Structures are given as structure tokens and as C-alpha cells.
């Protein structure tokens, strides 16, 4: 039995990677043992792995529930698909934001790194709900333009983007500026909010 207590400033994910590379892989690569061993992670590491598996399903569940809520809102199965196309783009933006955050942390706070951990995955789950708000505004306005104004679909979409772009930028900017102090604040416990 190998019992490991990582230092308090080391994330558990990083400790697990080091254990896998420095202990488990050499044991598995040693032909003299011939499979007469068993590798089990227990304690916090085991709980972390089970939480990772459940959080992956939670992301899928968040996307499905969001789709169903939008389908009920628009009473259609097609319009939510159009809206949900923004989710992968939002995820790309989330990964770019995480990358930029780590560049900033490396520059202004050397030794600090925000991994793709559980807290960050919870942030991505919240991102699903936030990202779909903007296309809902555009699709709703476009449908209203077609229904009430008799516009062609192309003109309705162009008009809805023109009229809704300012509120979209305002809410995005307010959200960014409101959450920025949580992201850049140093100190104890700040790693809980960055993700």
C-alpha cells in the first residue's frame, strides 16, 4: 500500500497525474511482477474520479435539459437546434478564456495555474445556460419579425441581430466585469472561484 498526502498547495489532480506517471506506470511496465498486483485508488482520489464521471454526465444532462426547455418555449424541435449550435462555440470560448487566464496567472502570479478541475467543469455547466441566452433573443426576435411584420426569414434575422446586438453586448460585458474580480483576485480560496 502506498499512501500519499500531497502538499496543501498541490491540486489533487496534479498529485494523481504524478502518481500515475511515477508509480503506477513503472509497476505496470515491470515484467517481473507478471500481473500479480492490483492498483486501486481510494480516498480522495477515488472520490475525485467518481465525481469526474458524474460531472461529465451532468454536462450532457445540462445540454439536454436546456434543449427541452427551449423546445417547450418555442414549441418546436428545430429552433432549439439552431440555438444549441452556440453551445460548442461557447465551450471553445471557455477554453480560450481558461488559456488566457493561465497566461495571465503565469505572468502576474508565477506558480499559479487554473487546471480543468471540478470547479472549472461546474463553470462550464453554468456556461451552457448562459451561452444560449443570446441566440434565444435573436431567434425570438426573428420569429416575431416573420410573424408580425411579414419579413422574409433572411431580413428578419438581419433585423433581429441589428436590434438585439446592443443588449447582448451589454449583458455580456456586465457579466464579464461582474465576475472579473473573482477570477483575478489572489489569496486563499481564490482557486475555488476562478473555475
Q: What is the pLDDT of residues 4-33, one digit of tens each?
A: 777 776 767 777 778 878 887 887 777 776
Which residue, chain included where needed, has cell 436590434? Answer: 163
d(C-alpha 67, C-alpha 12), whole Å: 34
Give me 54's grid cell. 458524474
Q: Check pLDDT > 80 for residue 115.
A: no
pTM, to two decimals: 0.63
pLDDT of residue 142: 92
Q: Which of 140 and 114 is assigned the larger pLDDT?
A: 140
Mean pLDDT of 88-113: 82
pLDDT tens-digit map of 127-184: 877 888 888 889 999 999 999 989 999 999 999 999 999 988 998 899 889 888 887 7
**Dist. CA 116–CA 83, nearest whole Å:** 26
Which residue would you say has higher pLDDT here, 65 or 40?
65
Top pLDDT among 171 and 34 is at 171
d(CA 23, CA 21): 6
pLDDT the model gives residue 155: 94
pLDDT of amino acid 86: 84
Place of cell 504524478: 18
Report the pLDDT value the prediction gives residue 132, as an integer from 0 to 100: 84
Look up residue 103 and give its three cell numbers.
497566461
> Is the Cβ–Cβ distance between 77 and 59 less than 8 Å?
no
Identify which has the larger pLDDT, 52 or 159: 159
Does residue 82 carry a pLDDT above 80?
A: yes
pLDDT band for 62, please (50, 70, 90 cuts). Answer: confident
Smallest CA-to-CA distance from 13 within 109, 133, 97, 119 is with: 119
State residue 172's pLDDT score: 85
Amino acid at each position: 500500500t502506498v499512501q500519499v498526502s500531497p502538499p496543501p498547495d498541490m491540486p489533487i489532480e496534479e498529485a494523481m497525474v504524478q502518481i500515475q506517471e511515477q508509480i503506477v506506470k513503472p509497476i505496470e511496465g515491470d515484467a517481473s511482477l507478471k500481473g500479480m498486483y492490483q492498483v486501486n485508488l481510494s480516498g480522495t482520489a477515488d472520490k475525485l474520479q467518481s465525481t469526474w464521471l458524474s460531472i461529465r454526465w451532468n454536462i450532457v444532462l445540462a445540454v439536454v435539459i436546456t434543449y427541452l426547455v427551449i423546445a417547450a418555449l418555442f414549441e418546436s424541435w428545430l429552433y432549439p437546434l439552431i440555438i444549441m449550435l452556440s453551445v460548442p462555440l461557447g465551450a471553445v470560448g471557455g477554453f480560450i478564456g481558461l488559456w488566457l487566464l493561465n497566461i495571465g496567472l503565469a505572468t502576474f502570479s508565477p506558480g499559479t495555474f487554473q487546471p480543468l478541475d471540478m470547479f472549472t467543469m461546474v463553470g462550464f455547466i453554468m456556461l451552457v445556460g448562459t451561452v444560449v441566452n443570446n441566440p434565444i433573443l435573436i431567434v425570438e426576435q426573428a420569429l416575431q419579425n416573420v410573424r408580425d411584420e411579414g419579413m422574409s426569414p433572411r431580413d428578419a434575422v438581419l433585423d433581429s441581430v441589428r436590434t438585439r446586438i446592443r443588449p447582448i453586448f451589454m449583458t455580456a460585458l456586465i457579466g464579464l466585469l461582474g465576475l472579473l474580480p473573482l477570477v483575478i483576485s489572489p489569496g486563499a480560496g481564490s482557486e475555488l472561484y476562478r473555475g
